[in-house]
Amino acid sequence: MHKVRDMWRFVSILGLFVAGIAASDPTMATPLAPMPGPLTVQDANERPPSMCAAVAQRLPGVTYAAFETASVPAHQVRITFAGHSTYLIESAGGVVIATDYAGWAGSVIPNVATMNRAHETHYTDYPDPAIKHVLHGWGPKFGTEGDKAEHHLSVEDVLIRNVTTDIVRGGQRFVDQNSIFIFEIAGLCIGHLGHLHHDLTDSHYADIGRLDIVMVPIDGGLTLSIGGMATIANRLRSSIILPMHARGWATAADFIASLGEGFDHDYLEGSDLTVSLNSLPTRPTVLVPKGL
Protein backbone atom coordinates (compact mmCIF):
# COMPACT_ATOMS: atom_id res chain seq x y z
CA MET A 1 0.00 0.00 0.00
CA HIS A 2 2.85 2.35 0.90
CA LYS A 3 4.50 1.54 -2.43
CA VAL A 4 1.32 2.47 -4.30
CA ARG A 5 0.98 5.72 -2.36
CA ASP A 6 4.64 6.58 -3.01
CA MET A 7 4.15 5.86 -6.69
CA TRP A 8 1.24 8.32 -6.94
CA ARG A 9 3.18 10.89 -4.94
CA PHE A 10 5.94 10.57 -7.54
CA VAL A 11 3.39 10.97 -10.35
CA SER A 12 2.00 14.14 -8.72
CA ILE A 13 5.48 15.65 -8.26
CA LEU A 14 6.32 14.81 -11.86
CA GLY A 15 3.10 16.55 -12.89
CA LEU A 16 4.11 19.72 -11.05
CA PHE A 17 7.48 19.65 -12.82
CA VAL A 18 5.88 19.23 -16.25
CA ALA A 19 3.30 21.95 -15.53
CA GLY A 20 6.06 24.32 -14.39
CA ILE A 21 7.92 23.85 -17.67
CA ALA A 22 4.73 24.52 -19.61
CA ALA A 23 3.86 27.65 -17.62
CA SER A 24 7.32 29.14 -18.26
CA ASP A 25 6.74 29.05 -22.02
CA PRO A 26 4.75 32.17 -23.09
CA THR A 27 3.49 30.34 -26.19
CA MET A 28 1.54 27.93 -24.02
CA ALA A 29 -1.27 30.34 -23.05
CA THR A 30 -3.85 31.40 -25.62
CA PRO A 31 -6.01 34.40 -24.57
CA LEU A 32 -9.76 34.18 -25.06
CA ALA A 33 -11.91 37.02 -26.34
CA PRO A 34 -14.55 38.29 -23.87
CA MET A 35 -17.45 37.05 -26.01
CA PRO A 36 -17.97 33.53 -27.42
CA GLY A 37 -15.62 32.83 -30.29
CA PRO A 38 -12.95 30.32 -31.32
CA LEU A 39 -12.28 27.44 -28.97
CA THR A 40 -9.42 27.86 -26.50
CA VAL A 41 -7.68 24.60 -27.27
CA GLN A 42 -3.91 24.63 -27.47
CA ASP A 43 -2.20 22.72 -30.23
CA ALA A 44 -2.13 19.03 -29.34
CA ASN A 45 1.67 19.04 -29.65
CA GLU A 46 2.02 22.03 -27.28
CA ARG A 47 -0.65 21.67 -24.61
CA PRO A 48 0.54 20.52 -21.17
CA PRO A 49 -0.70 17.07 -20.19
CA SER A 50 -3.52 16.61 -17.70
CA MET A 51 -2.36 14.85 -14.56
CA CYS A 52 -5.87 14.32 -13.15
CA ALA A 53 -6.47 10.86 -14.55
CA ALA A 54 -4.40 9.37 -11.72
CA VAL A 55 -5.93 7.77 -8.63
CA ALA A 56 -6.33 10.29 -5.79
CA GLN A 57 -4.25 10.00 -2.64
CA ARG A 58 -6.02 10.21 0.71
CA LEU A 59 -3.67 12.01 3.07
CA PRO A 60 -4.48 13.43 6.52
CA GLY A 61 -5.40 16.96 7.56
CA VAL A 62 -6.74 20.12 5.97
CA THR A 63 -5.69 23.66 6.83
CA TYR A 64 -8.29 26.41 7.22
CA ALA A 65 -7.03 29.94 6.61
CA ALA A 66 -8.36 33.46 6.29
CA PHE A 67 -8.08 35.17 2.90
CA GLU A 68 -5.78 37.86 4.23
CA THR A 69 -2.61 37.82 2.16
CA ALA A 70 -2.07 38.52 -1.51
CA SER A 71 -0.09 35.33 -2.05
CA VAL A 72 -0.53 31.62 -1.47
CA PRO A 73 2.28 29.46 -0.05
CA ALA A 74 4.05 27.23 -2.55
CA HIS A 75 2.28 23.96 -3.41
CA GLN A 76 -0.99 25.18 -1.89
CA VAL A 77 -4.30 26.52 -3.19
CA ARG A 78 -6.63 28.98 -1.48
CA ILE A 79 -10.37 28.58 -2.12
CA THR A 80 -12.93 31.18 -1.03
CA PHE A 81 -16.71 30.99 -1.30
CA ALA A 82 -17.86 34.26 -2.88
CA GLY A 83 -21.58 33.43 -3.08
CA HIS A 84 -24.09 31.37 -5.08
CA SER A 85 -21.91 29.22 -7.41
CA THR A 86 -18.86 31.47 -7.39
CA TYR A 87 -15.71 30.24 -5.72
CA LEU A 88 -12.42 32.10 -5.91
CA ILE A 89 -9.48 29.77 -6.52
CA GLU A 90 -6.02 31.31 -5.98
CA SER A 91 -2.73 29.67 -6.91
CA ALA A 92 0.76 30.24 -5.54
CA GLY A 93 1.64 31.74 -8.92
CA GLY A 94 -0.87 34.54 -8.38
CA VAL A 95 -3.64 33.27 -10.66
CA VAL A 96 -7.12 34.06 -9.32
CA ILE A 97 -10.07 32.21 -10.87
CA ALA A 98 -13.76 33.03 -10.33
CA THR A 99 -16.15 30.18 -11.15
CA ASP A 100 -19.62 30.72 -12.65
CA TYR A 101 -18.81 34.42 -12.63
CA ALA A 102 -21.80 36.76 -13.04
CA GLY A 103 -19.93 40.04 -12.76
CA TRP A 104 -19.13 40.10 -9.05
CA ALA A 105 -16.68 38.21 -6.86
CA GLY A 106 -16.35 40.51 -3.88
CA SER A 107 -13.59 43.10 -4.15
CA VAL A 108 -11.47 40.80 -6.30
CA ILE A 109 -11.03 41.08 -10.07
CA PRO A 110 -9.96 37.61 -11.19
CA ASN A 111 -7.41 36.75 -13.88
CA VAL A 112 -9.73 34.02 -15.15
CA ALA A 113 -13.53 33.86 -15.12
CA THR A 114 -15.46 30.73 -16.03
CA MET A 115 -19.16 30.98 -16.85
CA ASN A 116 -22.21 28.86 -17.55
CA ARG A 117 -25.39 29.99 -19.27
CA ALA A 118 -28.28 28.10 -17.65
CA HIS A 119 -29.24 31.27 -15.72
CA GLU A 120 -28.04 34.87 -15.69
CA THR A 121 -26.68 34.42 -12.16
CA HIS A 122 -23.93 32.24 -13.64
CA TYR A 123 -22.56 34.50 -16.39
CA THR A 124 -22.34 38.08 -17.60
CA ASP A 125 -22.20 39.59 -21.06
CA TYR A 126 -20.15 42.46 -19.64
CA PRO A 127 -17.15 41.06 -17.74
CA ASP A 128 -14.60 43.51 -16.36
CA PRO A 129 -12.08 44.31 -19.14
CA ALA A 130 -9.29 43.61 -16.67
CA ILE A 131 -10.16 39.89 -16.70
CA LYS A 132 -7.65 38.41 -19.12
CA HIS A 133 -9.33 35.05 -19.73
CA VAL A 134 -13.12 34.72 -19.95
CA LEU A 135 -14.06 31.09 -20.53
CA HIS A 136 -17.62 30.28 -21.55
CA GLY A 137 -19.08 26.87 -20.77
CA TRP A 138 -21.26 27.00 -23.89
CA GLY A 139 -20.40 27.10 -27.57
CA PRO A 140 -20.37 30.21 -29.78
CA LYS A 141 -23.68 29.14 -31.38
CA PHE A 142 -25.74 28.26 -28.31
CA GLY A 143 -28.11 25.36 -28.98
CA THR A 144 -26.83 24.55 -32.46
CA GLU A 145 -26.29 20.82 -33.00
CA GLY A 146 -22.64 19.88 -32.66
CA ASP A 147 -21.77 23.21 -31.02
CA LYS A 148 -19.76 23.04 -27.78
CA ALA A 149 -17.07 24.80 -25.82
CA GLU A 150 -13.67 23.21 -25.57
CA HIS A 151 -10.98 24.63 -23.31
CA HIS A 152 -7.46 23.38 -22.56
CA LEU A 153 -5.53 26.38 -21.39
CA SER A 154 -2.45 26.94 -19.24
CA VAL A 155 -2.23 30.20 -17.29
CA GLU A 156 0.95 30.51 -15.23
CA ASP A 157 0.85 27.55 -12.80
CA VAL A 158 -2.72 26.50 -13.61
CA LEU A 159 -4.11 24.17 -16.28
CA ILE A 160 -7.81 24.69 -17.08
CA ARG A 161 -9.97 22.32 -19.10
CA ASN A 162 -13.67 21.51 -19.39
CA VAL A 163 -16.05 18.60 -19.84
CA THR A 164 -19.41 19.52 -21.37
CA THR A 165 -22.85 18.45 -20.15
CA ASP A 166 -26.37 19.40 -21.29
CA ILE A 167 -28.79 22.12 -20.23
CA VAL A 168 -32.35 20.90 -19.74
CA ARG A 169 -34.82 23.78 -19.62
CA GLY A 170 -38.50 24.18 -20.42
CA GLY A 171 -38.76 20.70 -21.91
CA GLN A 172 -35.81 21.39 -24.23
CA ARG A 173 -32.35 19.85 -24.08
CA PHE A 174 -29.40 21.98 -25.16
CA VAL A 175 -26.63 19.48 -25.79
CA ASP A 176 -23.11 20.31 -24.51
CA GLN A 177 -24.05 23.83 -23.36
CA ASN A 178 -22.95 23.52 -19.71
CA SER A 179 -19.36 22.88 -18.66
CA ILE A 180 -17.73 21.16 -15.75
CA PHE A 181 -14.51 23.15 -15.40
CA ILE A 182 -11.43 21.41 -14.04
CA PHE A 183 -8.46 23.29 -12.60
CA GLU A 184 -5.14 21.51 -12.13
CA ILE A 185 -3.07 23.41 -9.58
CA ALA A 186 -0.17 22.35 -7.34
CA GLY A 187 -0.84 18.70 -8.08
CA LEU A 188 -4.51 19.06 -7.08
CA CYS A 189 -7.45 18.36 -9.37
CA ILE A 190 -10.30 20.77 -8.61
CA GLY A 191 -13.66 20.45 -10.36
CA HIS A 192 -16.68 22.78 -10.53
CA LEU A 193 -19.84 21.00 -11.73
CA GLY A 194 -21.47 24.21 -12.96
CA HIS A 195 -25.26 24.17 -13.40
CA LEU A 196 -25.46 20.40 -13.78
CA HIS A 197 -28.90 19.14 -14.86
CA HIS A 198 -28.47 15.40 -15.38
CA ASP A 199 -26.62 12.25 -14.35
CA LEU A 200 -23.10 11.75 -15.64
CA THR A 201 -22.25 8.93 -18.02
CA ASP A 202 -19.19 6.68 -17.92
CA SER A 203 -17.79 8.83 -20.71
CA HIS A 204 -18.15 11.96 -18.56
CA TYR A 205 -16.35 10.30 -15.65
CA ALA A 206 -13.56 9.15 -17.95
CA ASP A 207 -13.11 12.67 -19.32
CA ILE A 208 -13.18 14.21 -15.85
CA GLY A 209 -10.66 11.81 -14.32
CA ARG A 210 -9.60 12.31 -10.71
CA LEU A 211 -11.06 15.18 -8.66
CA ASP A 212 -9.47 15.82 -5.27
CA ILE A 213 -11.86 18.72 -4.65
CA VAL A 214 -15.30 19.12 -6.22
CA MET A 215 -17.84 21.97 -6.03
CA VAL A 216 -21.39 20.61 -6.11
CA PRO A 217 -24.73 22.44 -6.57
CA ILE A 218 -27.14 21.36 -3.84
CA ASP A 219 -30.37 23.27 -4.55
CA GLY A 220 -32.17 20.05 -5.45
CA GLY A 221 -34.52 21.82 -7.86
CA LEU A 222 -33.03 23.90 -10.65
CA THR A 223 -30.08 21.52 -10.96
CA LEU A 224 -29.92 17.75 -10.51
CA SER A 225 -31.71 16.35 -7.44
CA ILE A 226 -29.95 15.97 -4.10
CA GLY A 227 -29.99 12.19 -4.58
CA GLY A 228 -28.47 12.55 -8.02
CA MET A 229 -25.71 14.81 -6.71
CA ALA A 230 -25.04 12.33 -3.89
CA THR A 231 -24.64 9.55 -6.46
CA ILE A 232 -22.09 11.63 -8.36
CA ALA A 233 -20.21 12.51 -5.15
CA ASN A 234 -20.10 8.84 -4.17
CA ARG A 235 -18.64 7.85 -7.51
CA LEU A 236 -16.09 10.67 -7.65
CA ARG A 237 -14.97 10.01 -4.04
CA SER A 238 -13.29 13.41 -3.90
CA SER A 239 -11.37 14.18 -0.71
CA ILE A 240 -13.15 17.52 -0.30
CA ILE A 241 -16.72 18.32 -1.41
CA LEU A 242 -17.67 22.00 -1.39
CA PRO A 243 -21.42 22.65 -1.71
CA MET A 244 -22.78 25.65 -3.62
CA HIS A 245 -25.98 26.93 -5.26
CA ALA A 246 -28.18 26.52 -2.19
CA ARG A 247 -31.53 27.99 -3.20
CA GLY A 248 -33.91 27.01 -0.40
CA TRP A 249 -35.23 23.70 -1.76
CA ALA A 250 -32.52 21.82 0.08
CA THR A 251 -29.82 22.55 2.62
CA ALA A 252 -26.25 21.46 3.17
CA ALA A 253 -27.56 19.18 5.91
CA ASP A 254 -29.92 17.50 3.41
CA PHE A 255 -27.02 16.89 1.03
CA ILE A 256 -24.79 15.54 3.80
CA ALA A 257 -27.53 13.17 4.97
CA SER A 258 -27.99 11.85 1.43
CA LEU A 259 -24.33 10.84 1.10
CA GLY A 260 -24.42 8.03 3.62
CA GLU A 261 -21.91 6.94 6.25
CA GLY A 262 -18.76 7.03 4.12
CA PHE A 263 -18.39 10.83 4.35
CA ASP A 264 -17.31 13.23 7.07
CA HIS A 265 -18.43 16.85 7.23
CA ASP A 266 -17.53 20.15 8.86
CA TYR A 267 -19.09 23.60 8.97
CA LEU A 268 -16.33 26.17 8.49
CA GLU A 269 -16.07 29.25 10.68
CA GLY A 270 -15.15 31.30 7.62
CA SER A 271 -15.59 31.21 3.87
CA ASP A 272 -12.06 30.07 2.96
CA LEU A 273 -9.65 27.20 3.19
CA THR A 274 -6.07 26.63 2.11
CA VAL A 275 -5.22 23.12 0.99
CA SER A 276 -2.36 21.15 -0.53
CA LEU A 277 -1.99 17.70 -2.04
CA ASN A 278 -0.44 16.49 1.22
CA SER A 279 -3.17 17.94 3.46
CA LEU A 280 -6.24 16.27 1.96
CA PRO A 281 -8.48 14.53 4.52
CA THR A 282 -8.24 10.76 4.78
CA ARG A 283 -12.00 10.34 4.26
CA PRO A 284 -14.20 12.22 1.76
CA THR A 285 -15.32 15.32 3.64
CA VAL A 286 -18.03 17.89 2.96
CA LEU A 287 -16.81 21.36 4.00
CA VAL A 288 -19.65 23.87 4.27
CA PRO A 289 -18.38 27.46 3.98
CA LYS A 290 -19.81 30.29 6.01
CA GLY A 291 -22.41 32.19 4.03
CA LEU A 292 -23.68 29.30 1.93
What pLDDT, in 10s, does the model give residues 22-38?
333 333 333 333 334 43
Mean pLDDT of 62-76: 59
Is residue 271 predicted with pLDDT exceeding 50? Answer: yes
Dihedral angle sign, alpha carbons of residues 213, 245, 166, 200? positive
CATH number at residue 98: 3.60.15.10
Put simply, whether the predicted model's pTM sits higher than 0.85 gets the answer no
The three-state secondary structure class of 185 is strand
Give me the domain span that covers residue 174: 2-288
Is residue 201 predicted with pLDDT exceeding 80? Answer: yes
Q: What is the pLDDT of residue 243?
A: 94
Q: What is the pLDDT of residue 34?
A: 36
Mean pLDDT of 42-53: 62
- C-alpha to C-alpha distance for 291 and 56, rounded to whole angstroms: 29
- Torsions phi, psi of 269, nearest 5? -75, -20
For residues 280-289, one letter each, b for 16 or more C-beta atoms within 10 angstroms of the residue's C-beta and e for the rest, the string is: bbeebbbbbb
- C-alpha to C-alpha distance for 35 and 134, rounded to whole angstroms: 8
Stronger pLDDT, 119 or 58, i.e. the higher one: 119
Least confident of 107-121, 148-162, 197-211: 107-121
pLDDT band at 20; cut points 50, 70, 90: very low
Mean pLDDT of 245-251: 78
- C-alpha to C-alpha distance for 67 and 274, rounded to whole angstroms: 9
- pLDDT, tens digit (0-9, with 9 covering 90-100), for 132-187: 999 999 887 766 666 899 999 999 999 999 999 887 877 788 888 889 999 999 99
- C-alpha to C-alpha distance for 2 and 10, rounded to whole angstroms: 12
User: Are the CB atoms for 66 and 78 separated by under 8 Å?
Assistant: no
Mean of all residue pLDDT scores within the chain: 79
Number of domains in the chain: 1
